[in-house]
Structure 1
Amino acid sequence: MTQIIQISTQYQLANIVALIRAGRLGEAKERRILVIANNSFAPELTPAADDMPGSAGLLTHFDLIIDWNATIWPNHPKAFGISGERAPLMQRSLRSGWAIADDEPIDLIVESLPGHPAGVLTQIFTTARISVHSDGLMSYGPIRNPLSLPQYQRLSTIYYTDLLPGITPRQLAEHSPDRVVLPAADLKSVIEDMAAEVAPDLAAADLADPIPDAAMVLGQYLAQIDLITAEEELDLHLQMIDEVKARGLSTVIFKPHPTSARTTIEPLRQRSHELGLEFVLADVSLLAEIVIATTRPQLVVSCYSTGLATARALFGTATAAIGTSMMLEVLAPYQNSNRIPLTIVDALHSGGYALKDLGPLIDAVTYCMQSETASYLRDNAIEFLESAVGGEDMKYFKRKRLSKLDLPGQLEIPAHRKGLSSAKRRLRTQAKRAQHTLKTYGISIDAPKLVPKVKSTLNSKLSMKLRSEPDR
């Protein structure tokens, strides 16, 4: 058996090595091939996970390291797909290049499905057993798109890090995979080893030792992914500096997000000095968890970064979340994968939730995000929403979404509109039936083009219906 393990971030690499060390990925005799994809917008300018400081010791746990970007060059990992005709050819090529016998069974362990590059690897290795390794808070919610039949038929296991003790991730739960949990302490041990490896880098940045009376502010890149404007993001980070002052601490350690613009640094430095706070810039190509492990801040502040969860779970550090209420308002569409991390962080910091009570809320939001794949959660969602209507928990839901799914808390339809809505639904149904009938005779017409024709046959009935209703 050969294990092909695909990652795209150093944090994922740390999680995988923690699983290996804990014996959760099988026996040491397993041959392990690590496939590293650099999914950044400009991979030529951004170091891949194996090139980042702190990775050298982790790479010793693998028999072969593959640069996926080089393998598929000049394609980008996010854009590279493969047809059914080419897949067998590429499998044979990769087996040959990676020294895997044609009859050797493969255990494929990939990041989030069905996106690329994970998805394309499942298409290439068509007989491999599939497992998913999950890191961060997104694993506690649903995936964006349903798996294909060949994928979920081969899905075996979900590996996840226990960032929320007592809460089981909902990712791919509709397929009932086995779940293997990695205790946070095992990941902490790997992070500490990485910190020891990069001690010179930390020392050069004055980050090698605990910084007393400090708070770490973790920058996010919300403007870069068009969730808010650059001005709103700067204001959000300034509020984080204000929070440090309000907590009575004396030093700010600012760790920018690796992919964010650096234009916020000077305004944050200035705000810190205005408030009488020391400002330490941790602009290093290191995981935030490594810097937390060495500087030992008393508080970690961000919006809804997974770093808040890892700080709590790995180091027991106090955390504060800023701007989550605003983000709950503006995050769109409702199915956005950031919704579950945002919901969890807001609930724990401003929603009055204890960790053990998060399950019903996560179930309800998960169902509203992906009602088809998470249909098994409908009763849970109804039960939660029946008790939530009229209360603070309704901030986690959109009334239009509840209306679409016919759930408690939905918008009330005015009585004079109900007949019109049902008539419109009948109109669409008639058009689709007519389209299907014409198709059987080899005539193809889009349903929207049929609506006027169908409408003419229903117009008199519809008009009579509307005239008979009271004007409200």
Structure 2
Amino acid sequence: MSGTTQIFFSATQYAAATVTAAIRAGFFGPRTAHRRILVVSNTAAVPEVGTPLDRMPGFEKLRPEFDEVRSWNEFISPFHPAGWSPRAQDASLWEKAVRLAWNLGDEDVEIACESIQANPSRAVADIFADSPVHVYADGLMSYGPTRNRIPHNLNSRIARVLHLDLIPGLRPMLLSEYGVEPQPIPNEAIVDVLAQIGEEGASILADKLPAEDRPTAVMLGQYLSAIDLITQDEEEQLHVRMLRAAAKAGHQDILFKPHPSAPAVYSTSLEQAADQLGVRLTVLREPVLAETVFAYLRPQLVIGCFSTALMTAAAFYDIPVARVGTGLLLERITPYENSNRIPLTVIDAILPDAEKDKVGQPLELGRLAEELAPLVRAVGYCMQALKHHAMRDEVTAWLAVHLDAYPQYFKKRRLTSLRLPGGSPVRAESLRRNPTVRRVVRRIRAAQA
């Protein structure tokens, strides 16, 4: 890696914090040996109305690790970074354009990016077609299988998957079918970075929240309706259910933190529910990381649906966590290959249900991986069976014994199509009607005639 230019692509502050932690942990070599460029992008539906990553509170704590900061949105304007990629025949021209615009000359380039399955990461990897690629994952999706096929000319260049060790001992499946090895980022490195960039956010919280009677419970919003998992009304009701669960657990001061990528749609349903319950609700609309909220408030409970922040609260800050609404999402989420299925499965399997169970105790993370690993591998196999055919015997044996205990994570139609335990038997009549089977039978009969 000596003497290369390292280009780091980040779409969120949390992603930038993750890759900065990896840099400080020594995963990208000594600071003096490389030129480092951070390229920020905003993949929100309307990026013009959002706050760019490099203008968010706390970014100045990350800035010293990089020689330059560039904007991908500005470079490819007027295209949207989530929807644009170069045509194959134009990739080399775009590489020349990037090298010229960023003064790269003929230097060797390394790429570090988030999800390699989607833009802008895929676009950048296509542009720098000869460069090694380091994939870093900041959430629970790293424990699931690769969503889309990665062509050989790209998967052969992926050096490793850097990931947060949110569930110690649980091995990520991401890119494993291509022989890419995972490498966990030390928890102390990411917590230290989050503490630094959270200093300004803590000041925002100090100004917004009263010195006494600060919230003791935190509710985490996501953007489930924006990605069509549930409707907007259902998502609003999901937040109301979180509020009621927090009140039921004895909390009178509650903070709601919407997801930064969620649409800014105002609804009074949450405020009305708070009035009815007699609790004080604070809605945090300022751009403050959830982890800053955890570190500053040290709440007694964090409630969410299947947000990765639930696990960072548990793994990094030892805060009790609980879930709401995962049952509905397990019924609704489609297709079965949806990458959100693994985060949803993990959270549903290991966190208490805030509406039914006793909450308020920290998770014993060290004991989770052994029980969780076979379930995650079975769900992952069912999601992408063609990519993980070597796992079939293992998954078949596990389902034969454990399916009755975990029926909510598997669809009968999927088990049937894969000929796995729990699926329906294939009827002879269905086979006779199958066009492919009929063609094969005709060929056999013709050969025997």
Shift of 1:47: 1.7
The answer for the alignment partner of 2:179 in structure 1 is: 176
1:355 paired with 2:365, answer no
Shift of 1:429: 4.5
One-letter amino acid matched to 1:398? K
Distance across 1 between alignment mates of 2:309 and 2:212? 18
> For the Cα contact (< 8 Å) 1:109–1:131, is it kept in 2?
yes
Distance across 2 between alignment mates of 1:421 and 1:174? 32
The answer for the alignment partner of 2:243 in structure 1 is: 241
The answer for the alignment partner of 1:393 in structure 2 is: 406
> For the Cα contact (< 8 Å) 1:188–1:314, is it kept in 2?
yes
Q: Secondary structure at the match of 1:258?
A: coil
Shift of 1:171: 0.4
Q: Secondary structure at the match of 1:372?
A: helix
Q: Secondary structure at the match of 1:87?
A: helix
Count matched residues: 428
The answer for the alignment partner of 1:280 in structure 2 is: 282
> For the Cα contact (< 8 Å) 1:211–1:297, is it kept in 2?
no
Q: Structure 1 residues 271 and 68 mapped into 2: Cα distance closer, same or farther (>3 Å)?
A: same
Q: Secondary structure at the match of 2:348?
A: helix
Distance across 2 between alignment mates of 1:403 and 1:100? 53
2:419 paired residue among 406, 417, 425: 406
One-letter amino acid matched to 1:377? M
Distance across 2 between alignment mates of 1:61 and 1:265? 41
> For the Cα contact (< 8 Å) 1:22–1:186, is it kept in 2?
yes
The answer for the alignment partner of 2:47 in structure 1 is: 43
Distance across 1 between alignment mates of 2:15 and 2:212? 26
What's the CA shift string for 1:205-262, capped at 9, x where partnerless?
Answer: 227x686561000112212222112222122111111111221222111111223345
Distance across 2 between alignment mates of 1:397 and 1:330? 12
Distance across 1 between alignment mates of 2:95 and 2:411? 45
The answer for the alignment partner of 2:323 in structure 1 is: 321
One-letter amino acid matched to 1:270? Q
1:58 paired with 2:41, answer no
**TM alignment of 1:94-133, pairs within 5 A:** 94-102=98-106, 104-133=107-136
> For the Cα contact (< 8 Å) 2:198–2:289, is it kept in 1?
no
What's the CA shift string for 1:295-334, capped at 9, x where partnerless?
Answer: 1111000110111011101101000100111111111111
Distance across 2 between alignment mates of 1:150 and 1:204? 52
Structure 2, unpaired ranges of 5+: 358-364
Give the TM-score normalised by the residue count of structure 2.
0.90
> For the Cα contact (< 8 Å) 2:215–2:297, is it kept in 1?
no
The answer for the alignment partner of 1:85 in structure 2 is: 89
2:75 paired residue among 66, 71, 77: 71
Distance across 2 between alignment mates of 1:63 and 1:123? 24
Distance across 2 between alignment mates of 1:432 and 1:140? 45
Q: Secondary structure at the match of 2:385?
A: coil
> For the Cα contact (< 8 Å) 2:84–2:120, is it kept in 1?
yes
1:426 paired with 2:426, answer no
Q: Structure 1 residues 210 and 179 mapped into 2: Cα distance closer, same or farther (>3 Å)?
A: farther
> For the Cα contact (< 8 Å) 1:212–1:297, is it kept in 2?
no
Q: Secondary structure at the match of 2:183?
A: strand
The answer for the alignment partner of 2:207 in structure 1 is: 204
Q: Secondary structure at the match of 2:415?
A: helix
**TM alignment of 1:374-393, pairs within 5 A:** 374-389=388-403, 391-393=404-406
Distance across 1 between alignment mates of 2:127 and 2:438? 41
One-letter amino acid matched to 1:282? L
Q: Secondary structure at the match of 2:47?
A: coil
Q: Secondary structure at the match of 1:38?
A: coil
1:367 paired residue among 381, 400, 404: 381
Distance across 2 between alignment mates of 1:20 and 1:196? 20
Distance across 1 between alignment mates of 2:436 and 2:229? 37
Structure 1, unpaired ranges of 5+: 434-456, 458-472
Give the TM-score normalised by the residue count of structure 1.
0.86
Distance across 2 between alignment mates of 1:264 and 1:396? 33
Q: Calculate percent identity across the aligned residue pairs.
A: 36
> For the Cα contact (< 8 Å) 1:234–1:264, is it kept in 2?
no
Q: Structure 1 residues 159 and 246 mapped into 2: Cα distance closer, same or farther (>3 Å)?
A: same
Shift of 1:148: 0.6
The answer for the alignment partner of 2:361 in structure 1 is: none
**How well do the aligned residues superpose, as a CA RMSD in angstroms?**
2.3
One-letter amino acid matched to 1:128? S
